Amino acid sequence: MRFAVLGSNIVIVTNPRCGQAPTLFYDTKRTGLAVGPPLPGPLVGDFHTSVATADMLYALSFHHRNQQHSFEVMSWESPNPHTMSWSWTSVPSPPPFEEDEWITSYAVHPDGRTIFMSGVNKYNLKRRTFSFDTGYCEWRFHGEWALPFQGQGYYDKTLDGWVGLHEDGYICACQVAPRSRASTMQPEWKIVKGKLFHKVPERKRAASYATLTCMGNARFCLVECVVREEVEYEDALGDCDGCMLLMTKFGLKYSHNGELQTINRTTNSYVLSKHITGFSPVAFWM
C-alpha cells in the first residue's frame, strides 16, 4: 500500500501494482471512508513520490527504456453540475528529470503552491534540484545540489525552514530555497548532534525506513521499526512479535550559538509483528 495526506483525508492506494485496485479516502473530520478512482495508467507499477498542495495531490513515477517520467495530479472536481468526485489528470509540463535520475528529497514552499524536488543520477551520483510552480505548471532549475534531508521535508513557521531526516540517523533543518530562477546555491542547513534513529546495529533495523511527521510549532514525531533486542534478525519476521515500533516526539529550537537542538524529547515503544521487510510505519498529524 501507499499512503498520503490530502486536506483532512488519508489517501490509501491499496495496490499500486494493480490498475483496477481502488483508492480509498478516509475523511478524518467526518470519520467516513469513500472509494475513489484507481491509479491512472502511467502510475501503475509503483509511483515513487506524492506531494499534497492545497486540495491537490501530485504523484510522480519513474519509467525506464527511454520513456518519459509520469507526473499526474488528483483533485476534487465536478464532472457535471450535480456531482463531485476525485479524478486524475496528467500535468501538461513533464518532469525534467532524466531516465536514471531518482527523487531523493522534496518539500513544499511556504507559498503553498511551489514544490521543490531533488534528484540524483544513480550512476554518476550527479545531483540536481528543480521546483514546480503548480499555478503556472512551470519547472525551474535551481542548481547542481540536493536538499539535505531524505524523502519529505516539512516547513515549520516557528523555525522558518524545512525539517527532515538526514542520512545516518540525524534530524536536519535548512533554510527555504528561493523560488527565483536566479537561485542556484544550496540553502544553509544544520543537523542535531546525536542520532535520533538508526541508533541500533544495522542488522537490528528490520530493513525499514524511519518516517517523520510535523505536529506544528516546531514539534515533530519520529517513528521507526526495529528488531527486538532478544530476537535475531532472521527470526523477526512473521507473526512472532519480533519487532518494536519506536515513537519519538520532540521539539526543535536554535540555541544562543545557533546550534540546532532537540527539546522535550520522549520515546514510547510498542511490540508488533512484521510480515515483510519492506514495511515502514507511517504517522499522520491532521
Mean pLDDT calculated for residue range 13-30: 87
CA torsion angle for 283, 152, 173, 267 (degrees, to 10)? 20
Q: Which residue has the higher pLDDT, 225 or 149?
A: 149
Q: How far apart are CA 36 and CA 12, in angstroms?
A: 10
* pLDDT at residue 184, rounded to an integer: 82
Q: What secondary structure, in 3-state letters, does 160-214 show?
A: CEEEEEECCCEEEEECCCCCCCCCCCCCCEEECCCCCCCCCCHHHCCCCCCEEEE
Residue 170 confidence class, pLDDT cut points 50, 70, 90: very high
* pLDDT at residue 79, rounded to an integer: 59
Distances (CA, A) of 74 to 135, 231, 273: 15, 43, 34
* pLDDT at residue 48, rounded to an integer: 72
Q: Is 34 exposed, middle or buried (0-12, 13-18, 19+ CB in 10 A)?
A: middle
Domain locations in the chain as residue ranges:
1-95, 96-191, 200-286
* pLDDT at residue 260, rounded to an integer: 97
Mean pLDDT computed over every residue of the chain: 88
Number of helices followed by number of strands (H, E) in the chain: 0, 20
Query: 200-286 in CATH: which number?
Result: 3.10.450
* pLDDT at residue 98, rounded to an integer: 86
Mean pLDDT calculated for residue range 20-35: 90
Is residue 173 pLDDT above 80, yes or no?
yes
Q: How far apart are CA 37 and CA 35, in angstroms?
A: 7
Q: How far apart are CA 212 and CA 280, in angstroms?
A: 11
* pLDDT at residue 277, rounded to an integer: 75
Is residue 284 pLDDT above 80, yes or no?
yes
Q: Is 174 exposed, middle or buried (0-12, 13-18, 19+ CB in 10 A)?
A: buried
- Phi, psi for 138 (deg, rounded to 5): -130, 135
Q: Which three cell numbers stand for residue 100?
A: 536514471
Residue-wise pLDDT tens digits, 71-98: 999 988 755 555 668 889 999 988 899 8
For the chain, report the end-to-end CA distance as a whole number of angstroms: 20
Q: Which residue has the higher pLDDT, 204 or 132?
A: 132
Please tell me the pTM assigned to this model.
0.91
Residue-wise pLDDT tens digits, 96-107: 998 888 899 999
* pLDDT at residue 149, rounded to an integer: 96
Percent of the chain past pLDDT 90, that is, above it, reads 52
Percent of the chain past pLDDT 70, that is, above it, reads 92
